[in-house]
Amino acid sequence: MSRIVLGVSGGVAAYKAALALRLFTEAGHDVRVLPTSAALKFVGAATFEALSGNPVTADVWDDVPEVAHVRIGREAELVVVAPATADLLARAAAGRADDLLTATLLTATCPVVFVPAMHTEMWLHPATQENVATLRRRGAVVLPPAVGRLTGPDTGPGRLPEPADIAALALVVLGHGAAALAPDLAGRRVVISAGGTREPLDPVRYLGNRSSGRQGWALARVAAARGADVVLVAANVEEPAPFGVRVVPVGTAEELRAAMLAEVADADVVVMTAAVADFRPASVARVKLKKDSPGEPSAVPLVRNPDVLAELVTKRATGQVVVGFAAETGDDDGDVLSHARAKLARKGCDLLVVNDVSAGQVFGAADNAVVVLGADGSVTEVPRGTKDAVAAGIWTAVAPRLA
């Protein structure tokens, strides 16, 4: 169990902080909520106290004998401020200490994550951007805001990411430090495929695979948090889109191929996480195939699908980094890594992320562990962790190749 401080500043998105709080506590962490006085106008202290099991106050004059404005920051292992309004970012950048939250920010020596939420004009204002740059220069993580509906009818950057995204990214920082979400992909365009293709046999049935798309989702979420412009080509994945990510839904291998080729021309990084079917039925029945009927097939002829990764490698732009994925099992001809090295040489990509899927590992699981093989002979082991933590490790291996 880790000690997390959840700061909440005074924006209408404060209600989402209660949902993030629940996710932190369900993950087994001890959470102390520090709202500003303005935040308490949106969500009452009783809500945060009930969900956290800890007292809630905004005032440095409460609990004076315990010197709370110093003790809370010293004991914290992670501070997350969500939402972080323009006013809160300005006060934090200036080093103000005029309430319990800002005082705690000055005494905390642990990683600090700010999750901005405000109207678009406020986010884009040079003052806010300078404050964000200042906080990042000091080592804090400042996530980019989501794009979407704001208070009222307006839409744009400034929306608070969804609580699931906030919690997932914050816990990556808790486990791996602020460097896990370094803004080293800022200004880069990233195209990722995720999920598993489905090849129709008739209007009801299809050939598919067990890929859940969760690792691709995590890669997209972490890339966006690290500043990238992300396009996610999603094959049969029904998860909510990660914040800051444009999703292109596809079904079959041919649809995925067309979508990837349409998106990658100006991409800095292309990541083929999707499990693309190697084969598809040679023909698709117009009506449902039924047993004990004249149309019952005695066999299903298959034809090869295009090798999307190999095609992306041959058509890549100058300087583009192409990352492949390999779900491998060992057999009599070799172990997982020997098969993966052969695939890396065959495909010609820059990096190959290797999953050991023996005995049904990885597919649909919450955790993962991978090995990243480089065409230059490098080997990077990413230890077991959440798929977001693994995604952070993969991007740390990719980022230096963009220099």
Give the helix, strand, coil percentages of the chain, each rounded to 5: 35, 25, 40
User: Which residues have C-beta within 8 Å of that of residue 75, sequence separation ≥ 6?
Assistant: 3
Q: Cα–Cα distances in Å, from 116 out to 46, 82, 144, 284? A: 24, 7, 7, 49
Contact 179, 388 (CB under 8 A): no
212-217 contact pairs (CB < 8 A, 24+):
212/237, 212/363, 212/364, 213/237, 213/239, 213/273, 213/274, 214/239, 214/364, 214/387, 215/273, 215/325, 215/362, 215/368, 215/387, 215/390, 215/391, 216/192, 216/271, 216/273, 216/274, 217/242, 217/387
Omega cis (within 30) before 83: yes
Contact 3, 30 (CB under 8 A): yes
| Residue 365, phi then psi, degrees to nearest 5 | -80, 155
DSSP class of residue 354 equals E
Q: Determine which one of 54, 131, 209, 236 is catalytic.
A: 209
Q: Active-site residue 209, yes or no?
A: yes
User: Which residues have C-beta within 8 Å of that of residue 345, sequence separation ≥ 6?
Assistant: none
Q: What residues are annotated to the active site? A: 209
